[in-house]
Structure 1
Amino acid sequence: MSIDATAAQTPPAGLRETKKQETRQLLSDAATRLFLDQGFERTTIAEIAAAARVAKKTVTNYFPRKEDLALDHQDAFVGSLARTVADRAPGESALTALRRAFAEAADTTDPVAGFAPRDFARMIADSPTLTARLRDLHDLREAALAEALAKTTGVGAGADAGADTGAGADARRGDLAARTAAALFGAVHRMLFERVQRLTLDGRDAAEIRADVTAAAEHAFALLEPSLGDYATA
């Protein structure tokens, strides 16, 4: 077979990527319907494959773990705070950027901030597996934020240097500052995420939840202002 003939039978990269995204969405939608109908823990990969009319291996190729099908925004979630810090405007501190980004997420009821339909929030709350996975994702998000803060404040490989004086000590102090700041910022976002979920389960409508968590966010971020107001200013 000639090169030209082979190329003619191979879809362009853009079409292949589109097809992959369509398949991924098909699997996620089929899984979500089953999770909501019969619960996450009771639903099997085989049932999801049958509902989507694909082979079981296709499901696991796209989603290695069952919880990935339910929490399909997890990549965006884990990287969200780090991206906010990396993309902050000139003269903007990490705290200011994160405060602004959360306000925008609340205004648009972004799923990454915890906004979801009540039945979906209930599905997560009722599943020990998904609840545990969410805790893991919060930890991963905090770690990604710590790395971004360390990078933006100039903390390098010297953080692990052996000497307790000079550049090694400075780097270690900078690394400690980045990790501490990330832990505090992460705690605020974890609290706000859980607050959104709790209010959703309580039956509050979107407008009430937005107003509540926006006020809670302003108060929580204000508590960090004295110590972190100017930290990691671009």
Structure 2
Amino acid sequence: MPTPTTGLRALKKQQTRENISNQATRLFLERGFDNVTIADVAAAAQVAKMTVTNYFPRKEDLALDMHDVFVQQLATTVREREPGESALGALRRAYLTAVAAHDPVIGFSGPQFARMIADSPALVARLREFHDDREKALAAALTEATGAVPDDITPRVAAIQLAGVHRLLFEETMRRTLDGQHNDDIAQAITRDAGIAFDALAPALAGYAIRR
């Protein structure tokens, strides 16, 4: 069990990480991502430059401080699906819940943050890596869920389709955000689009990876 000392140390690290992330986000929104240096972030957070890079080895991750949650989101949903529920059914249910909550992880980031990303080629490229990593994590979860052998490409085919729909919906949410649409209007439109997208996958995947 953790001792009070280790608990306090972990809390201090978490607070330091959050402070760095918050200060970085503030600066990026004020000046633009490409116009802020690691040294600027360190000065604003009142820590050493090395401390910033210890917590965030890549500058892009200071702005996109959600890598683990984003990458594991679909895989976690599949692993936690209900008995009798397919991977497609679980992902559809979880996605619509996230839309109703205006979840930032699926693209409800607000216009200022969305513009910051869109204006930075480095952030656009890093976000593309997030999507690629998420697809791979989903493929691994589907392989585990179905007991597929290593050379069976079926889980990867399914992951490409399922993650591809989520990527498309994310991009559409960002596009509408950049167009200045209100979150409630975006949610209504994205709910409709999600229905179209998930319905299109149903003929192939409605019976795939059903939890016994």
Q: TM-score range by the shorter chain?
A: over 0.9
Question: Please, which of 176, 185, 189 is the counterpart of residue 208 of structure 1?
Answer: 185
- In structure 2, list runs of 5 or more residues that go unmatched: none
The residue that corresponds to 2:94 in the other structure is 101
Q: Quick one: distance in 2 between partners of 1:62 and 1:152?
A: 33
Question: Please, which of 137, 144, 152 is the counterpart of residue 145 of structure 2?
Answer: 152
- TM-score for the superposition, normalised by structure 2: 0.96
Q: CA deviation at 1:11?
A: 5.4
The residue that corresponds to 1:233 in the other structure is 210
- TM-score for the superposition, normalised by structure 1: 0.87
Q: Quick one: distance in 2 between partners of 1:124 and 1:15?
A: 35
| Aligned-partner residue type, residue 81 of structure 1 | L
Question: Does residue 177 of the first structure (1) align with residue 170 of the second (2)?
Answer: no
Alignment of 1:93-132 (within 5 A): 93-132=86-125
The residue that corresponds to 1:39 in the other structure is 32
Q: Quick one: distance in 2 between partners of 1:193 and 1:77?
A: 11
- In structure 1, list runs of 5 or more residues that go unmatched: 1-9, 160-171
**What is the identity percentage for the equivalent residue pairs of Structure 1 and Structure 2?**
57
Q: Quick one: distance in 2 between partners of 1:113 and 1:56?
A: 31
Q: CA deviation at 1:13?
A: 2.0
- Post-superposition Cα deviations, 1:146-175, rounded to whole Å, max 9, x if no partner, equal 01001110024xx3xxxxxxxxxxxx3xx2
Question: Over aligned residues, Cα RMSD in angstroms?
Answer: 1.0
Question: Does residue 77 of the first structure (1) align with residue 67 of the second (2)?
Answer: no
| Aligned-partner residue type, residue 33 of structure 2 | F
Q: CA deviation at 1:209?
A: 0.7
Q: Which runs of 4+ in 1 moved over 6 A?
A: none
Q: CA deviation at 1:18?
A: 1.3
**Greater Rg, structure 1 or structure 2?**
1
- Post-superposition Cα deviations, 1:18-77, rounded to whole Å, max 9, x if no partner, equal 111111110001001110111111110000000111111110111011011100011100
